[in-house]
Structure 1
Amino acid sequence: MLGGFAKSLFGSSNDRYVKSLGTIVNKIGSFEPAVSAMSDEELADQTVKFRARLADGAKLDDLLPEAFATVREAAKRVLGQRHYDVQLVGGIVLHRGEIAEMRTGEGKTLVATLATYLNALPGDGVHVITVNDYLAARDAEWMGQVYNFLGLTTGTIVPNLTDQQRREAYAADITYGTNNEFGFDYLRDNMKYERSSMVQRPFAMAIVDEVDSVLIDEARTPLIISGPTDDKSDLYRSVDLVVKRLDPGDYEKDEKQKTIILTEDGTEKVERMLEDAGLLQGDNLYDFENTQVVHHLNQALRAIVMFKRDTDYIVKDGKVIIIDEFTGRMMDGRRWSDGLHQAVEAKEGVEIEPENQTMASITFQNYFRMYPKLAGMTGTAATEAAEFYDIYKMNVVTIPTNVDIKRVDEEDEFYKDTADKFAAIAKKIKHHADLGQPVLVGTVSIEKSELLSEFLVKEGVEHKVLNARFHEMEAHIVAQAGRKSAVTIATNMAGRGTDIQLGGNLEFMVEDELADMPEGPERDAAIARIKAQIAAEKAAVLAAGGLFVLGTERHESRRIDNQLRGRAGRQGDPGLSRFYLSLDDDLLRIFGPDTLFAKMMRNNIGDGEAIGSKWLSKAIETAQRKVEARNYDVRKQVVEYDDVMNDQRKVVYEQRSDIMDAETVGDVVHDMRSETVNAIVGAACPPNSYPEQWDIEGLKDKLLATLAVDAPIEEWVKEDAVDPELVEERVRELADAQVGEKAAQLEPDVWISVEKSILLQNLDHHWKEHLATLDALRQVVHLRAYAQKTPINEYKQEAFSLFERMLDNIREDVTRTIAYAEFRATEQPALPDLPDFITTHFDPFTGLDDSNDVDAGSLGLIQTRLPPLSIPQPDGSNIGEDPADWAGVVSRNAPCPCGSGNKYKHCHGAV
């Protein structure tokens, strides 16, 4: 109570912060008269002057007021749009690396030009991230006019570009593209074999449009690049037939967790069917030999029971295409991982494509945290403010609207079942459409939108359905959703990016109606006619009450509901919103109040009867909060697991960069050979042991197999003073001499290419195998909880051990390859072509597709032992000059600070 009183008296912390930015806004305004008086050439020349001031030591904050005034004037001249003061506030918030929460229709696209221009001045490149390719291309072309006027270059990253086109787009001052394209380019770059073939530059700043959709909704799902493995189509079909013969009593499902398990009776039944199909080894389903069959059985169960056609996916042209649960769009080219997509293909009887093996992956959290400066904008972020700060260290700032909101948000209405609810919705839509009011209807799935369409047909209401089946036309359909009596059904309004203007959208109407009409008086007259029609319709719509937004059920996230609501009431227009619910809705059925509440509702509501109360709306909001908290935990878990891999990913990617950039990698290969010799001799000749205890035969065989060296160990053993270190030294000399002879047969630059090629190919091969192992580990590590162990801690320990083993294997394989490879003097080694990648974006915990780390540079080259991931190793820049002070500070495997190029343990750290 006291808190509310204080808030009304002093304003919230957000209000005070926004108010404090007024000083900067006034300063920007003070430059307006001078900037307005400039000619076009003088205004464009401002960019050159700003860059000169930066070169002289000025900071971006010093340039901000004048730069923002320049952009405002350029937008006024080029686009005919002048930034409002609240838009300037949004630009300042973006420049400071924060999230600007701005209502729909407040001009976020225009706001981004302010911070984008200012941060593009240093020439390091600004990435503007959008949620789909259409918006990336539209915004780059639209706002690019302002940037080009001011002398900056823009590029666009969309699918199906060549590497050269991508390189040019990334080299521009400002680059537009989708989150997936940027992420996949990063992964692909780190699989290239030459620095010149990489497309991205070092990161500087990213501005994320619809930041909640990109950094929250899609962050549950890592980006994955994979390649095909062996074909197992027959196995999928056989398991599918088995699962389709099961009864509901043979398994238990949990819709909250999206999991399903066989009952005891179900397991016995499956075992008998698998035996008959010849798929079971032994008589127990859970024997080790049947691991693969069990895995495919579980995926087939999930595909058949948990995944619904036209809700989770559609079948189009003989292919299973995933539907994005947040936007309702088709995710063409995306595939569920881990055999789930193949299981759905078997279920639907379409051609089964081979499974994929992970070759590279990264979460959006770890990708976007690589940007030194990250900002975002959206209409709905306040409900997730805590998560934005926890994960990305970004504050959410709510920007006031330019004009006060006049939309009326009515209480929810509850019905007993879906049929009653949809019948009432259809009547309500007809009533408002007859009044001339446009109606935008939000549904949660294709199935629901098509069901509602049938009800509207019965009522005789003309309408358009916007869902994944027709997403090619979505911008045109949404743009005209504000026309008189228009009824538009949309699966989800997240990230549509097109304004709903009352009376109609001039740009789209001209494009639709006059596309074939040539320029001239006739076209000008037609445009004038369309403008008059829009003005007349807008007046009629305003009189009818503005846009009516109707939600057919609550989404599990309040943000999605708010996005839908926010479509009405833009720029001070009137509007109306209401949600209709029933006890059959997924949110109420799975997450809602307990069954007592449901029974009470069913017993007290008659057919077709509706009730509404604040208490019920509050109960729904409580359920949504619970789901949001659960989803946050899932995303946090994804980050925790990927953080482990991220430390390792950074080491491997830094290693690849170092190899590609190095003039010669002979010292790396030599170190690997030395470490391999140490490991082989150490295993056969343990320290502090006598020669008669050594495994001489095993040592000779291993040296021959790995180093192609036939060492006379028996003769050495006859000497009095022989010890393991002496054996190591002699073996190293033999191995170095043998490799030296090979190198002498080739030109020096050819030999360097050989070594680089072998290093990179071995590194990539083992990293790919390591990723597959970590994927498998993550699937089963949760079982350790039954042993009272924390799964994430177990995963960290196992992953660390696996990484050390991977480094050992890389060293040994590189050494063996160079020892046994035969080279011709005239031959320039060709680096292999990259495979045809399959890009996916799936959730490792549910299988659903949506698509303060250690500084790897300080870890040196691939070492015998990676330093503990939680303790960054010093890079030598902050230690004293006296070598006596280096002990215990410099890692034994790090380069020696003296600059010799040797490892510290072989130089000043030698004991």
Structure 2
Amino acid sequence: MLGFGTLTKKVFGTPNDRKIKATRPIIDKINALEPEFEALSDEGLKDKTTELSDRAKGGESLDDLLPEAFANCREAAKRALGLRAFDVQLMGGIFLHQGNISEMKTGEGKTLVATLPAYLNALTGKGVHIVTVNDYLAKRDAEWMGKVYGALGLTTGVIYPQQPEAEKRDAYRCDVTYATNNELGFDYLRDNMKSSLDEMAQRGHGFAIVDEVDSILIDEARTPLIISGPSQDRSELYVSVDRLIPDLVDDHFTIDEKTRNVTFTDEGNEWLEEQLKSRGLLPEEQNLYDPESTTIVHHVNQGLRAHKLFTRDKDYIVRDGDVVLIDEFTGRMMPGRRLSDGLHQAIEAKEGCNIQPENITLASVTFQNYFRLYEKLSGMTGTAVTEAAEFAEIYGLGVVEVPTNQPIARVDEDDAVYRTTAEKYDAVVETIREANTKGQPLLVGTTSIEKSELLSEMLTEAGIVHNVLNARQHEKEAQIIADAGKFGAVTIATNMAGRGTDIKLGGNVDFKIMEAIEADPEADPEEIRSRIEAEHAEDEKKVKEAGGLFVLATERHESRRIDNQLRGRSGRQGDPGRSAFFLSLEDDLMRIFGSERLDKVLSKLGMKEGEAIVHPWVNKSLERAQAKVEARNFDIRKQLLKYDDVMNEQRKVVFKQRLDIMKAEDLSAIVRDMRNEVIDDLVETYIPPKSYADQWDGEGLHAAAQEHLGIDVPVTDWVAEEGVDDEEITERLEKASDEFMAKKAAAFGPENMRSIEKQVLLQTIDTKWREHLLTLEHLRSVVGFRGYAQRDPLNEYKTEGFQLFEGMLDSLRTDVTKTLAQVRPLSEEEQAQMMAQMQQQRQMLDQQTEAATAGAAPNPEAAAEGFDENDPSTWGNPGRNAPCPCGSGKKFKHCHGRLQ
């Protein structure tokens, strides 16, 4: 008998089915318009854009314009790229426009899908951001899809690291801008450190489409973006602490693998205290629990984490003497990304690398809070349904599964579970041998570099030719992926998430053509293309007959999404394929989260060595374990977000205040209000409310007025007057202060005074905000201990964070008032000196800008006269950003200047 839920689904369809059904009339309208748009000339498509844009700006809703806009965009793509969007691609575009996540399988053409809603939303003139996971994809997609936008009369920009400022501002002013999540976040922070509106790059946050949305909004959501500056060097302390850790024994610490946490036991703390004192790192009279010991305890804890939780070649690799982190989800290296709070330095000490100084935070934001700035957000990925609850709760995004254009023909086998890792790997090698014998291409997924290299050794011993793709081979990534679908190819890869390049059966035909043209530049390109396309068709047929791409995973990831991404590499666009997961009871997921009953079941069955248990129940048990881990990770991210929300509210206030200051022509009223509040505070301090006249501190108020307001007034006489109250004294101080500042403004000239007020306000806000961020970081690191006193750490953090913010605003008023009171006009001699300095700086800036513009697009030319590569004395004295005299077209600092 069917359950009620199953019955209603059969009668009414699932919520997902109903959403898909609702798009059918819209798709029919778009298709009905196709003949009309096919009849338009190329110029007619651009004219249509102008018409639609005028209607959008005139108040017509984008939903009403959607059928015409999508029809126009589809026609432009057909002409510019030879690609006509299928109905399911139109459907994906509709869901993106509505502010949803479109879950579309690998190979369904998500890059083209994004052009439809991007074009529609760009008609408003607000600009659309398309977010990718790496710079290569941002540049590739901007260049590729830019042809479609160009055919429609729209402009396309791309943001990349170390981009010249002028070029970056132009890119953000384009109708559609491609960028990585990192660059967008950092530009937001940089903009809010600028001192004038002209210098700001971004022009608001209207609509964003996030590609690989699960990778960006979930996997990377735990890592805040931080702009930082160096602090004092403590490298010797890291090295001294690191020498202690190898002497620890198992009784000194406990590891919790589930939460990836490690802590010292009481026994460990005693041993540690003894060792630190004997090595002179802790004074004899001090113990580990004293407040003064916080710094050394912090360093020791980070040393312990570096040794016990972080493994070389899994979590990081050492390259050219630097510790480079590896993304656990994609297996990519993350150069430039560093662990915070001294943990990266602790790993550098462990590996004997050069220890770089810790940094202090100048500005920070999490991806969660950055992407919530957008008025409308949407995303695309092949795997989002398992995280639907998180997308809905944190970002307000719905997830819609878009059907595939062709039915999926891939065969997904049940998981095979072995008793030991050795048995599992033997079975993996045997399965690879069998598939390889008939020429079926294999993609073998591993969870770490170490495991991919172990398997590589086993395949070499077995005489099976193969490729390995992990963080060490990332330069050859595109080539290895292009070859992965060839007949008889075997590719071992660490997590294949978000690679952005499809594995095509028979190999990538475009790569083959490019290689052939490079090998024989004299030959006719068209002849090469037709020959290779014919060969490729034959190769593709052979691979399909062999069963298509076989994805063989050697372990389950703790996230179902990553497993689904790997599986989805096979069976693209209706191709045949096969996927299987080989596991053992010794795998991390099985060992930590797997059911103990499974081991008992296997024992009762009396399994022989090399045998596997294969049953749908095992799959269900594993999925439950994975769902538990996902739920726990979601809780961690949710908790982090609650803490960051406290800072985010304050960040928004500060950034808005900065923006208002930059926009304002005249800040004198704000400055006067601040001055009056400082006077109120001073009077309240030295003439307390409801106190007697003999309790008033006239001398103290006189000194404070001189220090904070720059005025020397007879406050002591005022206090001694009969019948004078605190309000009267406040009014006199305000009047004297206003007169003093009015004279100062007259001496400077009104325009100069306004400029000085603006710069003082901005500089003071920035300094105070930096100090406040550091204080919040310290508060965050200790507030967790309040839990022991039965107090909610989050509430404590909110309360104290708010008090600290109020204190910051008070001190901001005081500092601004004090600084403005102290500024004075310069003498003629000082002015001349300053003008000469400014002229010099302007000339240097002009040179750098010219050099940056020249360096933005390398344009090789002849080397400077007399230039000798081996003799630096012939190089002249170019600026760091000037073109290199060797004629390469690169900046000097990126070319021969790097060698100095």
Question: Which residues of 2 match residues 400-419 of structure 1 at below 5 A?
Answer: 400-419=403-422
Question: Which residues of 2 match residues 647-662 of structure 1 at below 5 A?
Answer: 647-662=649-664
Output the amino acid matched with 2:448: S
Matched with 2:850 is none
Query: Higher mean Cα deviation, 818-827 or 557-566?
Result: 818-827
1:521 offset after TM fit, Å?
Answer: 5.0
Aligned residues of 2:699 and 2:716 also touching (Cα < 8 A): no
Query: Higher mean Cα deviation, 645-654 or 216-225?
Result: 216-225
Distance 2:531 2:603 in 1: 54
Matched with 2:592 is 590
Distance 2:838 2:496 in 1: 50
Distance 1:159 1:649 in 2: 24
Picking from 264, 269, 272, the partner of 1:270 is 272
Query: Higher mean Cα deviation, 303-312 or 638-647?
Result: 638-647
Picking from 777, 789, 800, the partner of 2:779 is 777
Matched with 2:682 is 680
Question: Which residues of 2 match residues 203-282 of structure 1 at below 5 A?
Answer: 203-281=205-283, 282=285
1:527 offset after TM fit, Å?
Answer: 2.2
* TM-score, scaled relative to structure 1: 0.89
Distance 1:601 1:238 in 2: 49
Distance 1:265 1:601 in 2: 39
Matched with 1:171 is 173
Q: 1:773 to 1:513 in 2, by over 3 A?
A: farther
Counterpart of 2:334 in 1: which secondary structure? coil
Q: How far does the alpha carbon of each residue in 1:391-450 deviate from its partner, in whole angstroms, 9 at most, with x for none?
A: 111111111111111111101111222222122111211211111101011111111111
Aligned residues of 1:155 and 1:176 also touching (Cα < 8 A): yes
Matched with 1:334 is 337
Tell me whether 1:316 sits opposite 2:319 in the alignment. yes
Matched with 2:873 is none
Matched with 2:424 is 421
Query: Higher mean Cα deviation, 282-291 or 698-707?
Result: 698-707
Q: How far does the alpha carbon of each residue in 1:317-376 deviate from its partner, in whole angstroms, 9 at most, with x for none?
A: 000001111111111111110100100000000100010111111111211111111111
Tell me whether 1:348 sits opposite 2:355 in the alignment. no
Tell me whether 1:479 sits opposite 2:482 in the alignment. yes
Matched with 2:629 is 627
Output the amino acid matched with 2:490: V
Output the amino acid matched with 1:502: L
Picking from 21, 24, 27, the partner of 2:23 is 21
Counterpart of 2:497 in 1: which secondary structure? coil
Matched with 2:851 is none
Picking from 36, 45, 48, the partner of 1:46 is 48
Q: 1:598 to 1:683 in 2, by over 3 A?
A: farther
Tell me whether 1:431 sits opposite 2:434 in the alignment. yes
Distance 2:728 2:288 in 1: 54
Q: Paired residues, what number?
A: 830
Aligned residues of 1:360 and 1:768 also touching (Cα < 8 A): yes
Which has the larger share of helix?
2
Counterpart of 1:764 in 2: which secondary structure? helix
Q: How far does the alpha carbon of each residue in 1:107-162 deviate from its partner, in whole angstroms, 9 at most, with x for none?
A: 11111111111111121100000111111111111111111111110000111101
- Aligned-residue CA RMSD (Å): 1.8
Distance 1:250 1:304 in 2: 14
Matched with 2:528 is 526
Counterpart of 1:128 in 2: which secondary structure? strand
Q: 1:265 to 1:717 in 2, by over 3 A?
A: same
Q: 1:737 to 1:602 in 2, by over 3 A?
A: farther
Aligned residues of 1:78 and 1:146 also touching (Cα < 8 A): yes
Counterpart of 1:397 in 2: which secondary structure? strand
Matched with 1:636 is 638
Counterpart of 1:220 in 2: which secondary structure? coil
Output the amino acid matched with 2:795: N
1:642 offset after TM fit, Å?
Answer: 1.4
Counterpart of 2:108 in 1: which secondary structure? coil
Matched with 1:489 is 492
Distance 1:598 1:704 in 2: 80
Matched with 1:539 is 541
Distance 2:602 2:736 in 1: 86
Matched with 1:105 is 107
Query: Higher mean Cα deviation, 344-353 or 454-463?
Result: 454-463
Q: How far does the alpha carbon of each residue in 1:170-202 deviate from its partner, in whole angstroms, 9 at most, with x for none?
A: 000000011111111001100111111110001
Picking from 159, 162, 168, the partner of 1:160 is 162
Picking from 538, 559, 569, the partner of 1:557 is 559
Aligned residues of 1:304 and 1:347 also touching (Cα < 8 A): yes
Counterpart of 2:621 in 1: which secondary structure? helix
Counterpart of 2:323 in 1: which secondary structure? strand
Output the amino acid matched with 1:35: F
Distance 1:645 1:770 in 2: 10
1:597 offset after TM fit, Å?
Answer: 4.1
Counterpart of 2:287 in 1: which secondary structure? coil
Counterpart of 2:178 in 1: which secondary structure? strand
Counterpart of 1:206 in 2: which secondary structure? strand
Distance 2:476 2:669 in 1: 58
Output the amino acid matched with 1:619: S
Matched with 2:380 is 377
Matched with 2:94 is 92
Q: How far does the alpha carbon of each residue in 1:234-271 deviate from its partner, in whole angstroms, 9 at most, with x for none?
A: 11111111222212221111122222111122111111
1:289 offset after TM fit, Å?
Answer: 1.2
Matched with 2:808 is 806
Q: How far does the alpha carbon of each residue in 1:527-576 deviate from its partner, in whole angstroms, 9 at most, with x for none?
A: 22321221111111111111100111111110110011111111111110
1:602 offset after TM fit, Å?
Answer: 6.7
1:600 offset after TM fit, Å?
Answer: 5.7
Aligned residues of 2:38 and 2:75 also touching (Cα < 8 A): yes
Distance 1:717 1:13 in 2: 76
Tell me whether 1:663 sits opposite 2:665 in the alignment. yes
Aligned residues of 2:698 and 2:719 also touching (Cα < 8 A): no
Counterpart of 1:496 in 2: which secondary structure? coil
Matched with 1:457 is 460
Matched with 2:511 is 508
Q: 1:268 to 1:35 in 2, by over 3 A?
A: same
Distance 1:824 1:423 in 2: 82
1:277 offset after TM fit, Å?
Answer: 1.9
* TM-score, scaled relative to structure 2: 0.90
Counterpart of 2:154 in 1: which secondary structure? coil
Q: How far does the alpha carbon of each residue in 1:21-74 deviate from its partner, in whole angstroms, 9 at most, with x for none?
A: 110101001111111122222223221221232344322222211111111111
1:711 offset after TM fit, Å?
Answer: 3.6
Matched with 1:729 is 731
Distance 1:250 1:320 in 2: 27
Distance 1:706 1:593 in 2: 69
Matched with 2:864 is none
1:605 offset after TM fit, Å?
Answer: 4.4
Distance 1:602 1:740 in 2: 91
1:731 offset after TM fit, Å?
Answer: 2.1
Aligned residues of 1:416 and 1:606 also touching (Cα < 8 A): no
1:5 offset after TM fit, Å?
Answer: 2.7
Matched with 1:469 is 472
Output the amino acid matched with 1:249: D
Counterpart of 2:324 in 1: which secondary structure? strand
Output the amino acid matched with 1:211: V
Distance 1:769 1:142 in 2: 45
Query: Higher mean Cα deviation, 667-676 or 196-205?
Result: 667-676
Query: Higher mean Cα deviation, 782-791 or 81-90?
Result: 782-791
Matched with 1:749 is 751
Gaps of at least 5 residues in structure 1 are 834-911
Distance 1:398 1:490 in 2: 27
Output the amino acid matched with 2:587: D
Matched with 1:579 is 581
Gaps of at least 5 residues in structure 2 are 842-900
Aligned residues of 1:462 and 1:487 also touching (Cα < 8 A): yes
Tell me whether 1:364 sits opposite 2:367 in the alignment. yes
Question: Which residues of 2 match residues 286-325 of structure 1 at below 5 A?
Answer: 286-325=289-328
Output the amino acid matched with 2:296: V
Aligned residues with identical type, % of pairs? 57
